[in-house]
Structure 1
């Protein structure tokens, strides 16, 4: 199964965590050099590689005398401003021996939440790949605030699989995949070579936080794998400090944990709605509307909405919840909150009479709606 899936891979997103490329004395240039050579080897074999690299904050914090993680966003932003240029210089120098050019792309969640900016970022990415350049992506920590941050680069890498239309996500970690308990504490922990479906039990096994230099633990990596596999992209979590890990993986060696893609995966647009576009409000719907959405694949009509929370405009994403407030879907609102407040509970035939105009019959059209499985 693993070899069959890998044989179809053309474009790979490789995420490198701070714990992989950062040692006691700062950036580990030997590891960065080895990974660059591995990626160059893949490029020479016809693969396309997009690199998502952490490490800017960890690299820059020493200049500010910060021990441990920066405790405030301004400190994190300052450390990132110092460290990002050093991080890119390290990658640039590492790729130079094999004649490869690199390019920096810094993103915030807003860049991917806005459909036009999302497509512009995709066009830039595709052009770089066409010219044989290695795109190196990181969160733009120098300007990010809580409302627009990805949270960690594991999450970012999962969203990049959709942006790049990738075939495989490889998350390089300091642990060789998923275990049923922490292998650093329990030597008898059982390792998973393949995960067919990410269940609640699998998510519970992941638990735990990140390291001193990174924000993502195994739980964020499994969450990233879940998001990528829903897009139809297989995901591997593997030990990034293992020599020859990338060529070995692509040669079919049983390395790390391989999370299989779901068979019926989301379209690129629905994956964007589900994960890239932040929700601005909440619609509470009656039982009949819930069944129409979940069982029949229908659109959400104003007649099925009985309450609204949050402030949003037409085109913003909204959470769709049952009468008890449990979210079961997400979609793009066809009307603003102010407009929906006037037409909720009414039949679609009454919309134009009430508002004086009409965008459509639906509060959320089924093409712009994702039901949670």
Structure 2
């Protein structure tokens, strides 16, 4: 039986530091998934709908109004899935879209339906691509970047591993941009031990940054799901992390 792997990829990774979705980033992900599919059933949790919309339209008040951002998400989500479908299909990979809100995780029937849908998609050789339904839910727009969503999905399907793809190697002893002697913390089994490190990073990364990743780790650790933070700017970052060939932070229960 294959292991279950969740890959969460955020807007900062998908745009590669620009204001546009990077086709090269999605192609790199697809190349890795071709290899990973031999051993893993995979779910992708992908942000990037609003960033994708910016390439096609500019809505008045976008930077200030939540409803403008929701409209951007509605436009961008279809475009984002088109990009995934176009690139993944060239590698023989099939994708299916699942849009969720946090209310779905509060309802036992909705959770069971989600679990069954993902299982059926795997059986049909389709990769579920999950995003928050930003048009009806504003939590990702206001508070985060799908880190919590990916953790909740990992819990309901009892994933073996959740990988948060970030633009940093993981948790450091201090802000690595400000302290040359900052060291990567490779293993964490008690979040209380890294509170000071989180606070240092929070001011740098802000909403949807390291604080939301730690919240995701808390959810995972409380439900026995291992979670890693891996740097998506490294070549073949998932495959190399699985082979312990690059540095990253691993969160696991005692």
2:158–2:225 CA contact under 8 A, matched in 1: no
Aligned with 1:232: secondary structure? coil
Q: Over the residues paired in the alignment, what is the CA RMSD in angstroms?
A: 2.6
Indicate the residue corresponding to 2:248 in structure 1. 256
Residue segments in structure 1 that go unaligned for 5+ positions in a row: 1-7, 264-373
d(CA) in 2 for partners of 1:178, 1:166: 22
- In structure 1, distance between residues paired with 2:214 and 2:32: 24
Matched, 1:115 2:108: yes
User: Residue 80 of structure 2: which of 84, 87, 98 is its match?
Assistant: 87
Cα separation, 2, equivalents of 1:96 and 1:60:
22
Determine whether 1:218 maps to 2:210. Answer: yes
Q: Give the aligned partner of residue 106 of structure 1.
A: 99
- TM (norm. structure 1) is 0.62
Does residue 1:132 correspond to 2:128, yes or no?
no
Matched, 1:157 2:157: no
Q: Partners of 1:259 and 1:159 in 2: how far apart?
A: 15
2:194 pairs with 185, 199, 202, which one?
202
Greater relative contact order (CA < 8 Å, ≥ 6 in sequence): 2
Match of 2:7 in 1: 14
Aligned equivalents of 1:227 and 1:216: distance in 2?
16
Provide the C-alpha distance between the structure 2 equivalents of 1:224 and 1:38, rounded to a whole number of angstroms: 24
Structure 2 residue ranges without an equivalent (≥5): none
2:233 alignment partner in structure 1: 241
Relative distance call for 1:84 and 1:209 in structure 2 (3 A) is farther
Q: CA deviation at 1:67?
A: 10
> Which deviations, in whole Å up to 9, do the C-alpha atoms of 1:295-342 show, x marking residues without a partner?
xxxxxxxxxxxxxxxxxxxxxxxxxxxxxxxxxxxxxxxxxxxxxxxx
Question: Whose radius of gyration is greater, 1 or 2?
Answer: 1
Where do 4+ consecutive residues of structure 1 move more than 6 Å? 66-69
Q: How many residues align?
A: 251
Distance of 1:136 and 1:155 partners within structure 2: 15
**d(CA) in 2 for partners of 1:39, 1:69:** 34
